[in-house]
Amino acid sequence: MIEVAEEMRSGWRVVAVRGRADAAAADHLESVLKTAVEANAKVAADFSALDYISSAGIRAVLQAARAAEGRQSEFAVCGLSPAAKKVFDMSGIQHVLRIHRELPC
Amino acid sequence: MERAFGQTELTLDGDLRELARLALWIGRFCRSHSLDENVEFHLNLALEELFANAIGHGGCKDLPAAVSIRLSLAGREILAEFADRGRPFDPADAPPRDLGASLEERGAGGLGLHFVRQIACHIEYHRVNGWNRIALRLAI
């Protein structure tokens, strides 16, 4: 179960995701991030209130990153907790994503 | 047979919405044994990945009481015993994930089991009376 709040900040669409990005929430997460990427040139996924992420959540982020790549828009992942960061690290996709400690805006 | 201390068991239907109940149950187990958030995160991740695989690939989708999980503490390890009544599936048969491959070559498949292998220090599999029984040991 995730909750999403979006706002514009210095040219970035900031998508703040709160809760658990598990297999039950992955479709919701993917649709929110892809919609943002399709409508904005710069999207930052703010995961600072994300308590948990599994492979299903990682896949959702990956799909958004691919959509951004296809449109040549910027997609940044920010604010990961150490535990969530470790899941990204284990997945190996951190090499193809822009992961920031802080929001870019 | 040695009886592990503080054992607890949960039965789940073949529905991803059961993940909320799984997470609550794991949280209670961790709090009652003073296990930290990191251990709780890893337990959630390993058990969700096995559960999601059983539903997505094992034919457990929509089966009532498809999965049964037991957790216990044994010394400095957690024993997580995961059982599902899906198709026979030994996690050891799944090919290792090629992290060197590019995103496009690799796709997103197999990631869940890759996580389980990273988290568990020991994985055992048996097929017993129509059930897959996967025993994970996680270091605390």
Interface predicted TM-score (ipTM) of this complex, two decimals = 0.91
Q: How confident is the model at residue B139 (pLDDT cuts 50, 70, 90)?
A: very high
Coil vs helix vs strand at A102: coil
What pLDDT shows up at residue B109? 55
CA distance B91 to B124: 9
The answer to whether residue B44 neighbours chain A at the CB level (below 8 Å) is yes
pLDDT of B71 over the 70 cut: yes
What is the total count of domains within chain A? 1
Q: How confident is the model at residue B101 (pLDDT cuts 50, 70, 90)?
A: low
What pLDDT shows up at residue A77? 94
- What are A47-72's pLDDT values in tens digits? 999 999 999 999 999 999 999 988 88
Q: Which residues contact A21 (CB under 8 A, 6 or more apart)?
A: A2, A29, A50, A52, A53, A54, A56, A57, A60
CA distance B99 to B91: 18
Q: Is B128 exposed, middle or buried (0-12, 13-18, 19+ CB in 10 A)?
A: exposed
What pLDDT shows up at residue A56? 96
Is the residue at A57 inside a domain? yes
Q: How confident is the model at residue B89 (pLDDT cuts 50, 70, 90)?
A: very high
Q: How confident is the model at residue B3 (pLDDT cuts 50, 70, 90)?
A: very low
CATH of domain B9-139: 3.30.565.10
Bridge partners, residue A14, by sequence: A7, A44
Domain ranges, ordered by start, for chain B: 9-139
Domain span holding position A27: 2-100
Is the residue at A18 inside a domain? yes
pLDDT of A19 over the 90 cut: yes
State chain B's mean pLDDT as an integer.
88
pLDDT of B131 over the 90 cut: yes
- The chain A residues in contact with chain B (CB within 8 A) are 1, 20, 22-24, 52, 54-56, 58-59, 62, 66, 83, 87, 90-93, 96
The answer to whether residue B32 neighbours chain A at the CB level (below 8 Å) is no
Q: B-chain residues within 8 Å CB-CB of A1? A: 20
What pLDDT shows up at residue A103? 77
Q: How confident is the model at residue A24 (pLDDT cuts 50, 70, 90)?
A: very high
Could you tell me the CATH number of the domain that includes residue A52? 3.30.750.24
Is the residue at A17 inside a domain? yes
Is the residue at A48 inside a domain? yes
pLDDT of B77 over the 80 cut: yes
Q: How far is CA B5 from CA B18, B70, B114, B119, B124, in A?
A: 26, 12, 29, 22, 20
- Which runs of E-coded beta strand occur in B42-121? 67-74, 77-84
Q: How far apart are the first and last CA of chain A?
A: 27
More confident residue, B120 or A94: B120
Is the residue at A44 inside a domain? yes
What pLDDT shows up at residue A74? 93
Q: A-chain residues within 8 Å CB-CB of B108? A: 55, 58-59, 62
Q: What is the CA radius of gyration of chain A?
A: 12
Chain A residue at shortest CA distance from B118: A90
Q: How confident is the model at residue B96 (pLDDT cuts 50, 70, 90)?
A: confident
Going B66 to A56 to B70 to B95, the CA torsion angle's sign is positive
CB B41, CB A53: distance < 8 Å: no
CA distance A32 to A34: 6
Is the residue at A49 inside a domain? yes
Neighbours of A6 (CB within 10 A): 15
Give the CA angle between residues B47, B48, B51 to the nearest 5°.
85
What pLDDT shows up at residue B1? 38
pLDDT of B8 over the 70 cut: yes
CA distance A58 to B115: 11
Candidates A47, A59, A90: best to mutate against B (most CBs of B within 10 A) is A90
Is the residue at A105 inside a domain? no
